[in-house]
A and B are shown apart, each in its own frame.
Chain A
Amino acid sequence: MPKKVMILEDDEATAELIKFYLQEEGFQVAVAARGNGFMARVVEYQPDLITLDVLLPDADGFIIFKELQENTHTRTIPVIFITVKDGEKEKGITMGASGYIIKPFNEQELKGTIKSIIDVEE
């Protein structure tokens, strides 16, 4: 059973790119573009890893991360921030994120970070 990754990314192209790289690594990938209703989708999908964009049209990635941490169903899921916000890496890590990737990222950076957190196959 491949590991599942959920992507929260409002930019379609970026979401597709992340999805492409992760699918190449054999992950099962789902994409969400909006903060609204994201929690429900996470609970339903039960991913093994979540990538969060920080700047969303209707939400703040950090707030969503907090909600995830506070929810018993989601608190154990490791989270990686993938964002253009280069000044808040420390904040993200301090909050408990497993990774903080600044856009534009390269293939190795993304794949390496994710692989250091989870293996595709357990």
Chain B
Amino acid sequence: MVMNPVLDAPAVRWSIKWKLIAIITLLIVLLVSTLTYIQVASQKRIMEGDLDKRIELMKENLIERGKIFIINLSQQVENDIAAFNFSRVTEVVTESVRNNKDIKYAVLMDAAGKAIIHTQRPNLVQTVLSGVHDREALTQNKLTVLSYREENDNVIEIVQPVQISTKPWGVLRLVYKLGFLEQEIASFRKQIQKEIDNMIYQSMVTITAILCICLVIVYLLSARISKPLVYLTESARKLSRGDFSVSSDIQIRSRDEVGVLSETFFKMSSDLRDSYQKLEEYSKTLEDKVAERTAELKKALVDTAEARDRIDGIVKSVADGLVVTDIYNRVVLMNRTAEDLLGVRLSEVIDEPIDFAIQDETIRDGVRSTLEKKIPGYAFDFELPANDPKHPRIMRARTSVITDKQGRQTGIVTIIHDVTHEREVDRMKTEFISTAAHELRTPLTSIQGFSEIMLTRDDLSDQEKRRFLNYINKQSIGLTNIVSDLLDIARIEAERGFSLNKVPCNINDIVNQVVPYFREHTQKHQFEVQVPEHPVELVVDKQKMEQVLKNLISNAVKYSPEGGEICVLGRVTADCFEVAIADQGIGMTAQQVDKIFDKFYRADASNTAIEGTGLGMTIVKYIVEGHGGKIWVDSEVGKGTTVKFTIPF
């Protein structure tokens, strides 16, 4: 049995292993990235906070120093102003600014806002400053710290009111640069960045390391998971190809889902194998059965064909005519003999009604009445015209009802048997019996009569007595001959043949013994006997040979009632002795000659006065043939008959 091959086994496109690896990688990257980000962010925040505090501290420090500086400076300025030493003021302030790197510039303004000193922009001296910061500073009446942005720099301005003799005079402003602070911040930020970078780098390394480990683990794990699955897949493929060897080699021993799956799978494949084996057994059994049935069927078919052929052969071989008709009196079948007898061909009359198919009315009536009267069948005779219109052929037809298994009539089979010969034989037998009876009656009449006379008459002379006894004796011999003929023919009929008592004898002697008997009994015939002068010795049954000669000569006498010459000629030929008995009698036609050796046949049945049982020639023929010889007849109507026979040496 052939399994359907798995044509397109689906290939694994996204194996579990790679899926797992992808997912795990993604997860790890995500996780580590997130963690790194959080850490970096918080670190950065802390460091920024530190930076801010530091800057604040530095600012405060700067401011404190600036305050002290400006207080000192303002006292000097107040003093100098009080002393009206304005040059000195300018000198002091400019010097102070020059010596203090942190100070960007210093401005001294009077109460009206007029710049007295401006270290950064000397051109503004003696002008009233009207800037926002200028005016704000002018309003301050105590030490104030201002912070703002100026010319892209963050600056801190410390304002100190200047009082002369407790009277406000103006303000001293010192503007401090924060550049160093920014340098500090920048360097600090750089440091922070460096630390963050370091952290990220470490994270990356960690990620890579973890990832590698994870990948190895996942790879191993997934291999552990997918390997049995791959194996299972392969097994399933094998299974689907009808390879049940997989069911017996269980390689997976884990107790997880895959293990259970494998076990289940192998259990299943084992079951499948069992089922398949059973199925195969069944199918084999089935195939065997089918083969067996097929063989039986074939045999039955052959038998049927043989039976049909046999029946066909039988039907065809049947010497009798066979006509089968159906219940509607239509011709169904006809064998060759029937075709010939009825002068039709089955092909012409098949399925035709018998009225059309069969000319002879007797048959049609026979078939019809068998069907109508529902009798099992009966026999009837009919005549068919023959070549010789005087002697029609006599047919005996027998009808039989054909019934099927249920006993229903399905048709009639008519068997036509040519009984012409049988009837002829019957006729001849009847005639023979009658003739035989007549032949017996004639001698019986005289035997009975004369014996009675001799018993009842006392006055008979010796001469008379002798004459009567002679009649009785002769007629008794005649009776004996008839009875002997009958016995002979009975033996022939029984096919026992003759028991020939063959002894060597001189054929001339036999001839010479028989002829005188006829010479004595007929006056009208002259006997001419010609036999070789020398003795001819033959091994024969002497009595039977005498019977042959007597029969033949007696026939010659009988069938030449007008008398004439009867020749008995014996001559030696190459290998046998030939005897010819010729008469000049009534002779026979060729047809009569043909039948002369038939039992009971008499050449002229109408001429029954000619004695004889009609068995003589038959007996003669048997005797001659019993000696290995031949017998034949030449005859011509009105001229006479010659019978010749041979006896081999």
A residues contacting B by CB (< 8 A) are 10-14, 16-17, 20-21, 53, 55-60, 84-85, 87, 102-107
Contact = CB atoms under 8 A, between A and B. Distances in A.
B448 interface: yes
A16 B469 CA distance: 12
A35 to B, nearest CB: 9
Nearest to A56: B609
18 contacts: A10-B609, A14-B442, A16-B467, A17-B446, A17-B449, A20-B449, A20-B453, A57-B609, A84-B438, A102-B441, A103-B441, A103-B442, A104-B444, A105-B449, A106-B449, A106-B452, A107-B449, A107-B452
A12 B521 CA distance: 11
A44 B452 CA distance: 34
A60 to B, nearest CB: 8
B442 A11 contact: yes
Interface string B462-484: 00000100010011000000000
Contact of A17 (B437, B450, B558): B450
Contacts of B610: 57
A82 to B, nearest CB: 9
B441 A104 contact: yes
A46 B474 CA distance: 33
Contacts, number: 66
A11 B449 contact: no
Contacts of A60: 606
Given A10-B609, A13-B471, A57-B609, A104 B438 contact: no
A13 B444 CA distance: 10
A16 B470 CA distance: 12
Given A56-B609, A104-B448, 10 more contacts: A12-B471, A13-B471, A13-B475, A14-B442, A14-B446, A14-B449, A17-B445, A17-B449, A60-B606, A103-B444
B450 A13 contact: yes
Interface of B: 434, 437-438, 441-446, 448-450, 452-453, 467, 471, 474-475, 558, 561, 606-610
Contacts of A21: 449
B445 A14 contact: yes
B442 A84 contact: yes
Nearest to B437: A84
A59 B445 CA distance: 21
Contacts of A53: 609
Contacts of B442: 11, 14, 84, 103
A2 B27 CA distance: 175
A16 B561 contact: no
B445 A104 contact: yes
Contacts of A16: 446, 467, 471
Contacts of A11: 442, 445-446
B446 A84 contact: no
B561 A104 contact: no
A15 to B, nearest CB: 9
A60 B558 CA distance: 16
Contacts of B561: 57-58
Contacts of A10: 609
Nearest to B606: A60
Contacts of B449: 14, 17, 20-21, 104-107
Contacts of A17: 445-446, 449-450, 453, 471
The 9 closest A-B pairs by CB, nearest first: A13-B446, A55-B609, A104-B445, A84-B438, A13-B471, A84-B441, A17-B449, A103-B445, A56-B609
A105 to B, nearest CB: 7
B460 to A, nearest CB: 10
A11 B449 CA distance: 14
B530 to A, nearest CB: 28
Contacts of A84: 437-438, 441-442, 445
A17 B607 CA distance: 24
Nearest to B446: A13
A60 B446 CA distance: 21
A105 B452 CA distance: 12
B608 to A, nearest CB: 5
Contacts of B558: 57
